[in-house]
Amino acid sequence: MPRRGQVGSYAREVFIQQSNRRFVYVTLMTSQIIRILRFDRAGCYYTQPIYYHKDSVSFVKFVLLLSSLNEELLGFGTSISWIAGQRVMKMTPPELFNHTKQRWEPNTAELIFTLADQPMFSRRTIRSRGTVCWIAKHAGQEYVIKDYWRADGRAHESAFLKDFVGVKGVGQMFAFNDERDSIKAGRGFGEQEIMTSDAQSKCVLNRWFMRLVLPQYGDTLEKATSASHLLCAVRDIVRGHRDSLVLKGILHRDISFTNLLLSFHETHGVVIDWDLAKEMEKVIQDQGIDDDSRTGTRAYQSVKVLNGSSDLGHHDNMDDLESIFYVLYHVLFGHDTSGNPVHFEALGQIADWQNIVTRPPLLAKSKQYFLEKGVRQHITRYTSPDEQTLAALMKELQRFFRPRMGSIDAALDDDEEHIDFPKYDQQEAAGRYEAFISIIDQAILKLPEVLPAPAPPSPNGSVGSTKRSRTEDESNECASKRTRTQRVRATKAPISSYVDPDDSDDDDEPPPSPTDAGYDPKGSKCKIAVWVRARRAGRGRSRAGSFK
């Protein structure tokens, strides 16, 4: 392995083993020169070679930096620490959600969360959003704390979640801390300065550290206790997606297997992870702008999104509904009766969709053929008589998307038969949601009811509690025309939930290689912000300097 790739691998392992790392310093030293490399979520940033025999002052500064007793200077996030053998996280969010009053209220108090010994998820790439998720407890209530680095230009997920208060079928939020740190500030750049890349001749993306505190929801959909439970969850998710778009004007744009969860509370299912969401007005305004970001997870992307043609317009509600359909297909045809994944060879179409080597246009053709020709596999998740009802449902949903496939073909036709792709219309979008939900409803009525037990009561004012119970109509919606009733408890979310998929953003990288590390030994005109501990008698001050 080349030396530079080896250094990148070492830094990557530090990020993996120390989940509260913001950045990692690595030293390259020979008998004549020394270089300091700083690995952070934007890549690698390094000094020019310092001939320390001639520049002894810089050498001493490096030694002082790397031997500092200040953990923050060495790249640790100091909000996470140990108290009496227990890992804790301290934060002072500007606002807290009062569930009893159903509103956000100002906050100045410091909250202390107890954390599990290890994070439930930690992204394993250096140059990425660096998502880390923790299981946490506060005031007797369980939460999921999501730390990640938001790229410049991306919307604040917390802003969307604040607006979603009371929207059923959409994951809620208890607290947040936005923009607590940035890559640009950490590297010593001013707000107006531009970070450039030696390797790719383009600007390096600035990132902001974000923290969200979310309720602990249920498992992913394959753990639904029955076919009825699964479809009720999917219907609630579609309703939540509809209300977020029609009522709030927000489009999710990143529907995937891990973003759709079972719920303990007012609904049977919720959609989470809104960090790639966007206001629909901006989606429409920005169409045609050169944007190489991959919005969504490839295995669940729609045919239109995979085609990537400007003739097909922007991402819309039907793209997300198609993604929900693919998740449902994965649940039914990719898992056994216990909810465990089937063998890879038995996946059929799903195996092709999950092949990251397959080019998007080829995957688009594969999915379009699948939607037009129908399901040719047997459902493995549930047995008869549910299997027949679910198979009929999937065929009906495929027919639901076929007119859209015709519109795609017509828009991409270079001949005289070319017809412009239909523009987004909110009223029409609402109608398509109702048609999709109606198909689900008809299948639910044909299935026996097997629903999860209600969640145990939560402390007053916590996110886990509900302000009001479901109305009688809502409670009985999944119970009409049943022949049997059984109630079992939903399980908690798996480690893969609450996180961004590996291929949902262009700045999330695959496993490490020399270029992933971002290190270019021939780089020029680079500087590194170095914090030097002033070791004076009886004093522990710090001061900042910069090397060019």
Least confident of 141-150, 372-381, 502-511, 532-541: 532-541
Same domain, 477 and 516: no
Secondary structure (3-state) at 194:
coil
Residues 6+ apart with CB under 8 A from 343: none
Torsion of the alpha carbons at 275, 280, 283 and 286, rounded to the nearest 10: -120
Across residues 211-221, what is the average pLDDT? 95
| Residue 387 scores a pLDDT above 90 | yes
In a domain, 448, yes or no: yes
Tokens of 280: 């629909």
Q: Which of 295-309, 407-421, 466-480 has the lowest mean pLDDT?
A: 466-480
Q: What is the pLDDT of residue 39?
A: 96
Q: Which whole number is the average pLDDT over 284-311?
A: 78
- Residue 106's contacts (CB-CB under 8 Å, 6 or more residues apart) are 94, 95
pLDDT 10s digits, 510-529: 333 333 334 333 333 333 33
Q: Is the pLDDT of residue 482 over 90?
A: no
Query: Does pLDDT of 546 surpass 80?
Result: no
Q: Which residues does 413 contact at the CB level (< 8 Å), separation at least 6? A: 419
Which one has a higher pLDDT value, 450 or 344?
344
What is the mean pLDDT of the segment spanning 275-291? 81
Confidence of residue 207 (pLDDT cuts 50, 70, 90): very high
Question: What residue type is assigned to position 380 of the chain?
Answer: T
Does residue 432 belong to any structural domain of this protein? Answer: yes
Mean pLDDT within 424-452: 92
Is there a contact between 400 and 435 (Cβ–Cβ < 8 Å)? Answer: yes
Residue 81: which pLDDT band, with cuts at 50, 70 and 90? very high
Tokens, residue 450: 């097997």
Q: pLDDT grade, residue 493 (50/70/90)?
A: low
Q: Is residue 455 part of a domain?
A: yes
Helix axes 227-246, 386-412, angle to 10 degrees: 30
* Per-residue pLDDT at 521: 34
The alpha carbons of the chain give a radius of gyration, in whole angstroms, of 26
211, β-bridge pairs? 147, 177
Q: What angle do CA 122, 127, 129 make, to 5 degrees?
A: 50
Instruction: Quote the pLDDT of residue 483.
Output: 41
Return d(Cα 38, Cα 183) in angstroms, integer.
11
pLDDT at 108 over 70: yes
CA atoms 46, 48, 53, 54: torsion sign: negative
Q: Supply 465's token pair.
A: 């509690």
Q: Tell me if 464 is assigned to some domain.
A: yes
Query: What pLDDT is stored for residue 350 in this prediction?
Result: 78
Q: What is the pLDDT of residue 542?
A: 31
> Are 225 and 343 part of one and the same domain?
yes
- Averaged pLDDT of the chain: 82
3-state secondary structure at position 450: strand
pLDDT of residue 178: 93
CA distances from 135 to 79, 114, 129, 492 (A): 15, 8, 19, 11
**CA-based nearest residue to 135, from 88, 99, 102, 92:** 88
172-181, 269-278, 348-357, 510-519: range with lowest mean pLDDT: 510-519
Q: What is the pLDDT of residues 335-353, one digit of tens each?
A: 999 999 998 777 877 788 8
Give the domain CATH number at 248.
1.10.510
d(CA 205, CA 198): 13
pLDDT surpasses 50 at 363: yes
Residues 249 and 281 reside in one and the same domain: yes
In a domain, 83, yes or no: no
Q: Which of 97-111, 191-205, 479-493 is predicted least confidently?
A: 479-493
**pLDDT for res 376:** 72
Cβ of 497: how many Cβ atoms within 10 Å?
Answer: 24
Q: Are residues 539 and 434 in the same domain?
A: no
Nearest Cα to 302, choosing from 252, 233, 363?
Answer: 363
Mean pLDDT across 24-49: 94
Would residue 17 count as lying in a domain? yes
**Cβ(36)–Cβ(27) below 8 Å:** yes
In a domain, 316, yes or no: yes
Looking at the structure, tell me whether residues 533 and 389 fall in a common domain.
Answer: no
- Evaluate whether residue 447 is within a structural domain: yes
DSSP string, 393-414: HHHHHHHHHHHHHHHHHHHH--
| Number of structural domains the chain divides into | 2
Q: Residue 377 has what pLDDT?
A: 80
Q: Which of 368, 433, 459, 378 is nearest to 407 (CA)?
A: 368
Same domain, 277 and 423: yes
Q: Which domain holds residue 250?
A: 219-364+377-394+419-492
In the predicted model, is pLDDT for residue 332 greater than 50?
A: yes
pLDDT of residue 180: 83
Instruction: Tell whether 481 and 539 lie within a shared domain.
Output: no
Do 470 and 540 reside in the same domain of the chain? no
Percent over 90 (pLDDT), the chain: 64
Query: Does the pLDDT of residue 215 top 60, yes or no?
Result: yes
Same domain, 483 and 528: no
Which neighbouring-strand residues pair with 292? Answer: none
Shared domain check, 284 and 346: yes
Q: Where are the beta strands (DSSP E) in 243-310?
A: 250-251, 260-262, 269-271, 278-279
Residue type, 249: G
Higher pLDDT, 546 or 435: 435
- Does pLDDT of 449 surpass 50? yes
Residues 479 and 344 in one domain: yes
User: Span 224-239, mean pLDDT?
Assistant: 97
With bands split at pLDDT 50, 70 and 90, how would you rate the model's confidence at 470? Answer: very low
What per-residue confidence (pLDDT) applies to 191? 85
540 and 430 within one domain: no
